[in-house]
Amino acid sequence: MAITLTKPAADRIAEQIRKNDSLALRFAAKASGCSGFSYVMDFADKIDDGDIVFNNYNVQLVIDPKSLEILDGTEIDYVAEGLNQTFKFSNPKATNECGCGESFAITG
């Protein structure tokens, strides 16, 4: 079981964690969006009991067990496309994504 960050994503997240004086990035999935689930990224000031912690390029990423079932194997990248800069999610469990890339569906 793993969630991974590319080097560009880790660099961007590390910068934001420092700016927000946080401990880690919290990554989760919540039921919403036009396809069923959406990705949630927020800053974590503490690690809760039961949280799973992944380290990529010295960046801590925390996730709750329920979200890990949906997001296991996801790679988070940070890309610049023209003037736009955004995080991209490559989730092997996603069977369908909405056109905006903000939400996804899984089967099973």
Regarding predicted confidence, which is higher, 66 or 33?
66
Task: Output phi, psi for 74, to 5 deg.
Answer: -70, 140
DSSP 14: H
Instruction: Note the pTM of the prediction, 2 decimals.
Output: 0.88
Please compute the mean of the pLDDT values over residues 36-51 and round it to a whole number. Answer: 93
* Residue 99 near residue 93 (C-beta atoms within 8 A): no
pLDDT (tens digit per residue) in 68-83: 999 999 999 999 888 8
Q: Which domain holds residue 90?
A: 4-106
Q: Where is 107: in which H helix or E strand?
A: none
Give the amino acid at 58: N
pLDDT of residue 102: 64
CATH number at residue 78: 2.60.300.12
Number of compact structural domains in the chain: 1
Q: Picking from 35-39, 47-51, 95-99, 100-104, which range would have the lowest pLDDT averaged per residue?
A: 100-104
Query: Which parts of the chain fold into alpha helices (H)?
Result: 7-19, 65-71
